[in-house]
Amino acid sequence: MDEFATLRHDVRAFIAEALPARVREKVRLGLEVSKEEMVDWQRRLAERGWLAPHWPEAWQGQGWSAARRAVLQEELVLAHAPETGGISIEMIGPILIHHGTPAQQQYFLPRILNQEHWWCQGYSEPNAGSDLASLTTRAERHTRADGSTFYRVNGSKIWTSYAQYADWIFCLVRTDTEARAQEGISFLLIDMRSPGVSVRPLIGIHGWQLFNQVFLDDVEVPVEMRVGEENAGWSIAKSLLEHERLNLSRVAENRRRLAKVRAIGNEVMEAGEPMRNRPWFAQRFHALEVRLETLAATVLRFRRLERQGGALGPETGMLKLLGSQLIQDIENLAVDALGPDTLAYDRMAHFEPADLEPGRSPYAAAASARRFVTRGYTIAGGTSEIQHELLAKQVLGL
């Protein structure tokens, strides 16, 4: 048995023992997984050493290769385990490993792994989304009577995913209004419990609270909570976006959702035969399969480059662009295949599997809600229009 076959065997055995059946069923049907369920699952993974195996061994990681990590992610997906990592493991963790001070690393990294700290991302603003360099949230430096220094932060961040659960937020703030736009930005770590921080939910058409607006009113942030030099946050933000776009390819999530559509094709009937045999369904499904495997191979190539110390450039925007479009097309096919059963049924997406209505496909409950959620995937993390422009200018030289 080779290295990867052994790993697959070990992962499958672990999931069979550790993943609660109720959580597995909720993920399989596309229902919401609670924060408590997610924390419980991520703690189990952390105890096994598989929550952040790509982190360096010095920070409780295992220094895994991109290939080993891909095997783990694939097995987790195929077993309907909740998606893990996200903002804390995949974004702020690597930034602190590469750019944080020793004190920041020693304080935050263990707390990320043990689930004590959940993070959200403070980038977009009401008038600064894809044009991130135009952000206006202001951080002014002050000195107290005892000689300690801090930033007083004012502004707001919007489309902040899961801020209602977050303990900390990493923010881009403007610390120099006279400098060129990209050169006057700093990267701050802000405690969500600080006086002056407030969160307003943004409820989507699907009824889920995925996004929020975060208000920062005279929030005092110690200078020690700045990552990197003052006014040098833009380069850190760009490196984070490059890491983020590897994850925003959504390969694992796309794989899980395509497996759901495969199950729909096997279970739902049309004209007296399984949907999988209908030409319109089969053609669209197989085209999605090809696109997914092509994307997965390309992401793996970028991860290998990253692991070897190579620089990730603007080409990573291609992965986000293709992955976000693919996931929308997968969810569109799911709704088209389920048909009228998905109408006026989204409220059930908030329920437990046992509450689903008999006589309908169990996938129908969340189908429309899931499709609505994916409408934002070609906007979040940089709109498709912006990605096309960046690729044209920075990669193709047009």
Q: How far is CA 245 from CA 118, 206, 248, in A?
A: 20, 25, 5
CA 5 to chain centre: 28
Rounded to the nearest 5 percent, the helix, strand and coil shares of the chain are 55, 15, 30
116 is a catalytic site residue: no
Contact 398, 337 (CB under 8 A): no
What is the pairing mode between strands 168-174 and 119-122?
parallel
Nearest partner of 156 among 190, 109, 182, judged by Cα = 190
DSSP string, 223-273: GGGEESSTT-HHHHHHHHHHHHHHHTT-HHHHHHHHHHHHHHHHH-EETTE
Residues near 256 by beta carbon (within 8 Å), at least 6 away in sequence? 27, 77, 78, 80, 83
Contact 150, 182 (CB under 8 A): no
Contact 154, 195 (CB under 8 A): no
* Angle at the Cα of 346 from the Cα atoms of 341 and 351, rounded to 5 degrees: 110
Point out the catalytic residue in the list 75, 244, 306, 331. 244
Residue 302: its H or E element: helix 279-307
Contact 84, 42 (CB under 8 A): yes
Cα separation of 139 and 173, whole Å? 6
Residue 321: its H or E element: helix 317-338
> DSSP class of residue 312?
P
Tell me the sheet residues that pair with 143.
149
Catalogue the active-site residues: 244
